[in-house]
Amino acid sequence: MELKENAFQRWGEQRHQSWLVRRMHLDVPLTLALIALSMTGLAMLYSAGNQDLDLVYRQILRVGLAFSAMLVIAQIPPDQLKRWSPWLAGLGIALLIAVEVAGDVGKGAQRWLDLGFFRFQPSEIMKLALPMLLAWYLADRKLPPSLKHLAASALLIAIPVTLIVKQPDLGTSILIASSGVFVIFLAGISWRLIIFLSTVFAACLPLAWLNMHDYQKTRVLTFLNPESDPLNSGYHIIQSKIAIGSGGFYGKGFLQGTQSHLEFLPERSTDFIFAAFAEELGLIGGLLLLALYLFIVTRGLVIATQAQDSYTRLLAGSLTLTFFVYVFVNIGMVSGLLPVVGLPLPLMSYGGTSMVTIMAAFGVLMSIHTHRKMIRN
């Protein structure tokens, strides 16, 4: 079979990989970029955490765990993943319901499930399980999908998203909804339908507003005018903009950020770590970091286009684009482009759960890329 080859597809193709890399099912460019990103994250954490080495050690453990997860998942062939997809999604939804019934309340939201030895958020499973479910559902149908299949897909998205919105966790539900929407988009839904649905969605926004929790409304209002409440909800975004803006072109220098080190910047080692980064390393640092993220996204899309069947294509594309949504929503929020939704910056923010999920997603990408059958010749 002859596949049309072009530069875009050929890019990053490894023909002379060592035995070890091949056996480990790793994609070298992606792995290197992820390592670089994690290292940057650890360095920034060292600064933002006021040089607290304990904090860095704990994060190193998490990074190690996350990379291990990636490595393990990369070994699983995509066919296997495809078979597990509905079951994993079913488990995820069951756990979401369990959280709804018996979950722990943390920071005003019911997100956690306490399994005795560790607490975890079932919504994290859905970040992987929902795109897998949709890709599984659509891959074996004729694409572009029919209206019937689209309606079924919409329902499959709506169930977990509704459960997560109810927790309430706006950030995660946006991510999960996007991951599902990306699958549908990549499956080839017609542009006319896209325009029609977008219009309907826009019309429904006021309805969504009415159903929002007060703190979510406050976040949106604060986003629209941070100065309206400079001491409370507006404080985060004001201080964050000051941190980024005062960093300037070259930044104040590593470990030299006043906004972060003098503790004006809240959540400086978690959700707002980009502000601390941009303060110390300036526009130059910010552009390099964005370039690194863009490289990862591009590589992910290349993997998707090189995938050999619908399931892997749709899954790889959706996971990659969801990763980008992560980055965009976080930096957009920190820089005042978007309302404050509590999403970490992938591989930079301090914290474990989301990082494991993200790296698991990259494990899926690597599995997809490295389990291709040699059918070219």
Residue numbers at the binding site for another protein (CB under 8 A): 1, 3, 79, 140, 142-144, 182, 185-186, 188, 239, 241-249, 258-259, 261-264, 278, 282-283, 286-287, 290, 293-294, 297-298, 301, 304-305, 308-310, 313-314, 317, 321, 324, 328, 331-332, 335-337, 373
Tokens 């488990």: give the residue: 91
3-state secondary structure of 113: strand
3-state secondary structure of 335: coil
> What minimum distance in Å lies between the beta carbon of 327 and another protein?
9
> What minimum distance in Å lies between the beta carbon of 9 and another protein?
9
Helices (H), 25-169: 28-48, 53-74, 78-102, 122-139, 147-166
Closer residue to another protein, CB minimum distance, 132 or 163: 132
Closer residue to another protein, CB minimum distance, 58 or 372: 372
Closer residue to another protein, CB minimum distance, 142 or 192: 142
> What minimum distance in Å lies between the beta carbon of 320 and another protein?
9
Give the list of residues 6+ apart from residue 107 with CB closer than 8 angstroms, or none. none
Closer residue to another protein, CB minimum distance, 75 or 246: 246
Determine the residue type at 5: E
> What minimum distance in Å lies between the beta carbon of 278 and another protein?
7
Tokens 């997860």: give the residue: 69
> What minimum distance in Å lies between the beta carbon of 323 and another protein?
10
Closer residue to another protein, CB minimum distance, 35 or 288: 288
> What minimum distance in Å lies between the beta carbon of 19 and another protein?
26
Q: Dihedral angle at the C-alpha atoms of 370, 318, 164, 294, nearest 10 degrees?
A: 90
Give the list of residues 6+ apart from residue 280 with CB closer than 8 angstroms, or none. 44, 47, 247, 251, 252, 253, 254, 255, 256, 257, 260
Closer residue to another protein, CB minimum distance, 210 or 262: 262
CB burial class (10 A; 0-12, 13-18, 19+) of residue 22? exposed
3-state secondary structure of 358: helix
Q: Please state, in angstroms and rounded to a whole number, the distance separating the CA atoms of residues 153 and 144.
A: 13
